[in-house]
Amino acid sequence: MSAPGGIVAEGVLVQAMHLYSALVMKPYEQGRNAGLIERTSMGTLPEPLNRDGLGQHFCKTYDRPVLLGRPTANDPLVSEFDRMGEIYDAYVRPFSTPIMNAAVAELSAYIKPDYRLLDAGCGAGRELCRLSRLVPDGEAVGIDLAAGMVNAAHKSARAKAFDNTAFFQSDVGDLPEGFTGQFDLVYSCLAHHHYPDPPAATGEIFRALRPGGYYTVIDAGPEWFVKRSSGLALWADPGWIGFHTPEQFMALFEAAGFENTGWIDLVPGFGIACAQKPI
| Confidence at 2, pLDDT banded by 50, 70, 90 | very low
Q: What is the pLDDT of residues 243-279, one digit of tens each?
A: 999 999 999 999 999 999 999 999 999 999 999 999 9
Task: Report helix, strand or coil for 190.
Answer: coil
In the structure, what pLDDT confidence band is assigned to residue 86 with cuts at 50, 70 and 90? low
- Residues 10, 74: Cα–Cα separation, whole Å: 21
What predicted TM-score, i.e. pTM, was given to this entire model?
0.91
Helix residue ranges, H only, the chain:
4-20, 26-33, 58-61, 79-83, 88-107, 126-132, 147-159, 198-208, 223-236, 246-255
Q: Which of 40-44, 83-87, 176-180, 223-227 has the lowest mean pLDDT?
A: 83-87
Q: Return mean pLDDT, the chain.
A: 92
Q: How confident is residue 4, by pLDDT bands cut at 50, 70 and 90?
A: very low
Query: Is the pLDDT at 10 greater than 70, yes or no?
Result: yes
CA-nearest of 189, 194, 195 to 217 is 189
Phi then psi for residue 2, to 5 deg, are: -70, 150
- Residue 78: its pLDDT value, please? 73
Which stretch of DSSP H or E encloses residue 210? strand 209-220
- pLDDT, tens digit, 9 for 90 and up, residues 48-76: 999 999 999 999 999 999 999 888 888 77
Residue 94 binned pLDDT confidence (cut-offs 50, 70, 90): confident
**Is a pLDDT exceeding 80 seen at residue 161?**
yes
